[in-house]
Amino acid sequence: MRRAVVIVVAFLLVCGCASFPAETSPAAPVVRVWPPFDAKRARTDRGLVIKAQGGTLAQVTVRERGEPVPGALDRSRSVWRSDWALKPAAEYTVSATATVAGGPATVTLGRIRTRAARRTFQVAATAPLPGETVGTGMPIIIDFDTPVEDRAAVERALEVTAEHPAEGAWRWTSDTRVVYRPREFWAPRQQVTVTAHLAGVRAASGLVGAVDSTFVFTVGRSQTSTIDARTHQMVVRRDDRIVQRMAISAGMATTPEYTTTSGIHLTMDKGHPVRMVSPGRSEGDPGFYDMMIEHAVRISDSGEYVHAKDNLWAQGRQNVSHGCINSRPDQAEWFYTTTLRGDPVVITGTNRTLEWDNGWGFWQLPWEKWRQGSARPKKRAADTWVP
């Protein structure tokens, strides 16, 4: 049977036969480890904590299958914590050395085995896709394959690392979806790495993360399009330079669904062609339409696209669409070809406002309101757990 080993190392220097006044040396530090050594079914969700009492930690090494386990010391150098939860059904080897000035050192060696998971969850889908190049407004969307009850625990396990670091926050939009956006648009031309350190995380009673998941995407050039429904004009700026001006026609505004929404939209996907059918109307009803539209770039979940249309008589002069932004076919093709998912499209001049949860309208929320959707808006005691 494997047992934890604690070694106290003391050094004594004796010179000749001289006698010296007795001095009291400090006691050896005591090292405590949680979960305890030789545990066979240790919890995974609280990670691993090593604490030195009466001294400081000089060295900590934790490995799982030979790979180092990331962790960090606190400011006093008396407590070491693993960065993330422990993997289910895994064995960890621990070596820790504690020292005290003028006294002996304590070396602690041991092993810990974690319990197996009865039910597991994992990442089901992400946006962006791994390796995708996106626009500067792109959110990070993570969908889980099972509803999450302990959102704070899962959110703590999500890590976003950008080449140009910036403040950002997660917001839960459902029990299975969490969305991240930076406070300002991403700096262009950089890579962003997203890691869900889910292995061992407790998402609900009896539900534990199965595996970690990592993907990398690239933020491309900066491109923002501004549309004024009153002047019927669209201007596309790339890296702060105007690269296209387009005469457009927006929604006719005879009904709410035929009114283009004003606000900060993001390009979401595109199709060539896209079938468009009038909402809430059947064939034969007034205003019914069912048509195939070319070079269509979607900007909301309420049926709004920037797309091609040959009604040149209206573009630049009059709003006659069913809520979309239409433009000259050759210019619509150019926009379709050059657009990345996550490019901002800012629309003004209508009396209907884009809701923040309509498509990717996340930039409609002011920063402080966006942060309120986080499961952990403030630091919680669980974040600094010490047994």
307 in active site? yes
Distances (CA, A) of 210 to 23, 93, 152, 175: 55, 21, 17, 18
Measure the CA dihedral 178/184/188/193, to 10°.
-30
**How are beta strands 269-271 and 352-353 bridged, if at all?**
unpaired
15 in active site? no
- Which DSSP letter does residue 256 get? G
- Which DSSP letter does residue 283 get? T
Catalytic residue among 197, 232, 265, 307: 307
Measure the CA dihedral 161/178/82/56, to 10°.
80
- Asked if the bond preceding 273 is cis, omega within 30° of 0, the reply is yes
Partners of residue 293 on adjacent β-strands: 274
In one-letter notation, the amino acid at residue 111 is: R
Measure the CA dihedral 363/367/368/371, to 10°.
70
Nearest-angstrom CA–CA distance, 256 and 263: 15
Nearest-angstrom CA–CA distance, 105 and 90: 29
Chain centroid offset of residue 33 CA: 31
In one-letter notation, the amino acid at residue 273 is: P
The residues near 163 (Cβ < 8 Å, ≥ 6 apart) are 190, 191, 192
Nearest-angstrom CA–CA distance, 67 and 61: 10
Catalytic residue among 265, 295, 322, 324: 324
**How are beta strands 233-238 and 325-327 bridged, if at all?**
unpaired
Token pair of 59, please?
């060295």
Partners of residue 199 on adjacent β-strands: 209
SS3 content of the chain, % helix, strand, coil (to 5): 10, 40, 50
> Which residue carries 């201007």 as its tokens?
235
Q: What is the set of active-site residues? A: 307, 324
